[in-house]
Amino acid sequence: MSAPARRLSVSVNPVAIAGNQPGSPILGASSPPSLATFGSPPPLSGLSLSRSAQGSRTSASAFPQQQQGKALAPFPVVDAPVKILLLENVNTAAVDLLKAQGYAVEEIKKALGEEELINKLKEGNFQAVGIRSKTKITAKVIKECASLLVIGCFCIGTNQVDLLAAAKAGIAVFNSPFSNSRSVAELVISEVIALSRQLCDRAREMREGIWNKVSKGCWEIRGKTLGIVGYGHIGAQLSVLAESMGMSVLYYDVIPIMPLGSAKQVETLEELLGAVDFLTLHVPELPETTNMISKAQIDLMKDGAYLLNNARGKVIDIPALVDALKSGKLAGAAVDVFPHEPASNGPNFGDALNEWSSALRSCPNLILTPHIGGSTEEAQSMIGSEVGSALISYLNLGSSQGAVNLPSLTLRPILEDSGARLCFIHQNVPGTLKIVNGVLEEFQVSKQSSDSMGDVAYLLADIVGVTEKDITQIYEAISSTSNNIATRMLF
């Protein structure tokens, strides 16, 4: 397999890209929820300050720093940069990071269909592609695009990518599962207030010239109960925000989770439904969550309750929601996600896309938004930085830390000028490591790590004191094994 890129002169700091170190800003936002994460994201450049035991502010340079190591690039070297295709208006934070590495970045503002995407990737011989939620990377796309090494999903979800097909083709997939958590949590709070005061209906009436000053059916949210389905990063942040405004919080999750603040976990979804004034959903799209809120569940809710969905479009049975709003069973709803969403902006949200669109739009006290939960400057910048950094780390260092479809591996930097790194994705079958070690036994291996995920395994090994002839020998021997999926050498 010929290498797709030339040696880059840009120096790479594996620590700053692949993980966090004391005193450095958190580039990887994918961490368990804690109160410390509830502020706006920190600056993505420079070093933060930390407090010493005496409480004084000390520079992060007081911490011992790991050596930077040599810059790596694919071997053999070719006179062409790594090529990356970015679709769907990926944030400039990612574009700037990738271009700073010397990569050739091509941007397309819209999503591409399957055939159009295949043609574009094949004609451009791209090694990486970045998408958001609209572009579908199917098994056919993966099979047809042999040059592809890595996929960056600049969003939370990865259901738009065939993860199994990508893994079996040796293509890593990265996303940013928590970077927009604060933005989504704030949107939910704004929706709760707007619904309780019927703000959308009053605003619409005023634009129509109707003065309708009423208080009936309008409430403060203080003293009301918010029910959260899915107490993950978003749910936990939302819980704290709601309590700060005087709400009580109950939550349901499939696993026991310690609450933040005074929130209480209930044992069943049914128990939650009948106890809350506002129900908000924060779960992934899974077979178990499809239509998890339908007529039977709505019937268990309080009369006059409110339902909010900022999770996934298939979580709510929309026709059942329409019936509940028009009958008055529910006093209002907010929906940001839909089973089928337009691929581009414009007058595209009609019955041809979802047959119930007109009926839904005619409902009272209903907030409809075009999947904007994470659409803030802060969230998109954070997503761009996190996924962009993951792509760089994988392409330059072979680090799969944070990949959703491959084992998570990373190695310390290579310090020796004569060092090379083997990145070997292979079938997870017995005897593979014996073969690899048989190839490497005549060389000095400074470090090695291996892990598996299902039928696919990944191995990283650093070899020092090698020549270009040695590297060629290692590559040819490893890539020709029967269990090989994808082999790269970085030098």
CA distance 40 to 200: 28
For residue 454, count other CB atoms closer than 10 A to its CB: 12
CB 230 within 8 A of CB 253: yes
Which helix (H) or strand (E) segment is 171 a member of? none
Q: Kindly state the DSSP code that residue 64 receives in the 8-state scheme.
A: P
Write down the catalytic residue from 202, 233, 312, 421: 312
Q: In b/e form, how buried is each residue of 404-428, taking b as 16+ CB within 10 angstroms?
A: bbbbebbbebbeeeebbbbbbbbeb
Report the side by side order of strands in the sheet with 444-453: 444-453, 456-464, 420-427, 484-490
Report phi then psi at 19, rounded to 5: -170, 180
CA distance 393 to 39: 27
Tell me if residue 217 falls in helix, strand or coil. coil
CB 196 within 8 A of CB 218: yes
Q: Helix, strand, coil shares of the chain as percentages rounded to 5? A: 30, 20, 50
Write down the catalytic residue from 197, 371, 421, 426: 371
Report phi then psi at 269, rounded to 5: -65, -40
Pairing, β 278-281 against β 305-309: parallel
Catalytic status, residue 371: yes
Catalytic status, residue 107: no
Which segments within 181-340 are labelled E, that is strand? 225-229, 248-252, 264-265, 278-281, 305-309, 330-335
DSSP readout, 426-453? EE--TTHHHHHHHHHTTSEEEEEEEEEE
CB 100 within 8 A of CB 392: no
Amino acid at 207: R
Catalytic status, residue 233: no
Write down the catalytic residue from 186, 271, 341, 416: 341
Identify the CA nearest to 138 among candidates 117, 111, 107.
117
CA distance 205 to 185: 28
Q: Point out the residues that are catalytic.
A: 312, 341, 371
